[in-house]
Structure 1
Amino acid sequence: MTFYVAHRLFAAHDRALAAALADRLAKKVGADRVFLPFCDTDEEDLVAEVKGRRLFELDRDRLGRLDAMIAILHGPSLDDGVCMEIGYAIASGVPVVVLTTDFQTYSMTEAGTRLEFPDPLLQAVATRIVRVATLGPLPQLPAPGRSRFQGFEARNAAQTNTALDTAVDALLDLPDREPLPAGSPETTGAAIYVEPSPYLSRHMNHLAESLAGGGHTVVEPQRFTAPDPVAGALADLAAVRSAARLLADVSGPETPPGAALLIGAALASGVPVAAFQPYPTFTHAHGREPNWRNLMIQYAVDAHFSSEKAVLSWLAA
Structure 2
Amino acid sequence: MYYVAHRLFAAHDRLLAARLARVLAAKTGPDQVFLPFCDTDEEDLVAEVKGRRLFELDRERLGKLTAMIAVLHGPSLDDGVCMEMGYAHALGVPIIAVTTDFQTYSFDEDGPRFDFPDPLVQEVITDLVRVARLGTSPGSTDTANSRYAVFASRNDRQLDQALETAVDHVLAQDVPRPPAPALPAGDATLAFVEQSPYTPVVGMLTALVQQAGWATKESSRFTAHDPLEAARTDLDRSRAAGLLVTDVSGPETPPGAALLIGAAAARGARVIAYYPRTVLTHASGREPNWRNLMIQYAAEARFANPESLVHWLRR
**Mapping 1:1-317, distance limit 5 Å:** 2-139=1-138, 141-145=139-143, 146-174=145-173, 188-201=187-200, 204-317=202-315
Q: Do the aligned partners of 2:65 and 2:93 also contact (CA within 8 Å) in 1? A: yes
Counterpart of 1:17 in 2: which secondary structure? Answer: helix
Letter of the 2:87 counterpart? Y
Unaligned residue ranges in structure 1 (runs of 5+): 178-186
| CA shift for structure 1 position 110 | 1.1
Paired residue for 2:183? none
Counterpart of 2:198 in 1: which secondary structure? Answer: coil
1:207-261 residue CA offsets vs partner (Å, 9 max, x unmatched): 1122224432121112223333222112211211210210111111111111011
**How far apart in 2 are the matches of 1:214 and 1:28?**
53
**How far apart in 2 are the matches of 1:261 and 1:232?**
15
Q: Structure 1 residues 170 and 87 mapped into 2: Cα distance closer, same or farther (>3 Å)?
A: same
Q: Do the aligned partners of 1:125 and 1:234 also contact (CA within 8 Å) in 2? A: no
1:64-109 residue CA offsets vs partner (Å, 9 max, x unmatched): 1111100001000000000000000000111100111110000122
**How far apart in 1 are the matches of 2:173 and 2:54?**
29
Identity percentage of aligned residues = 59
**How far apart in 2 are the matches of 1:134 and 1:92?**
33
| CA shift for structure 1 position 188 | 4.2
Q: Do the aligned partners of 2:248 and 2:275 also contact (CA within 8 Å) in 1? A: yes
Unaligned residue ranges in structure 2 (runs of 5+): 178-185
Letter of the 1:290 counterpart? P
**How far apart in 2 are the matches of 1:94 and 1:199?**
30
Q: Do the aligned partners of 2:212 and 2:314 also contact (CA within 8 Å) in 1? A: no
Counterpart of 1:284 in 2: which secondary structure? Answer: strand
Query: Structure 1 segments of 4 or more deviating over 4 A?
Result: none
Q: Which moved more, 1:190-199 or 1:125-134?
A: 190-199
Letter of the 1:168 counterpart? V
**Could you state the TM-score of these two structures normalised by the residue count of structure 2?**
0.93
**How far apart in 1 are the matches of 2:285 and 2:264?**
29
Q: Do the aligned partners of 2:83 and 2:260 also contact (CA within 8 Å) in 1? A: yes
**How far apart in 2 are the matches of 1:110 and 1:26?**
42
Letter of the 1:55 counterpart? L
**How far apart in 2 are the matches of 1:47 and 1:214?**
41
Which structure shows the bigger proportion of residues in strand conformation? 2
Q: Do the aligned partners of 2:209 and 2:313 also contact (CA within 8 Å) in 1? A: no
Q: Do the aligned partners of 2:246 and 2:273 also contact (CA within 8 Å) in 1? A: yes
Q: Do the aligned partners of 1:211 and 1:218 also contact (CA within 8 Å) in 2? A: yes
**Could you state the TM-score of these two structures normalised by the residue count of structure 1?**
0.93
**How far apart in 1 are the matches of 2:213 and 2:265?**
25
**How far apart in 1 are the matches of 2:211 and 2:311?**
14
Superposed CA RMSD in Å reads 1.8
Paired residue for 2:181? none
Counterpart of 1:247 in 2: which secondary structure? Answer: strand
| CA shift for structure 1 position 189 | 4.1
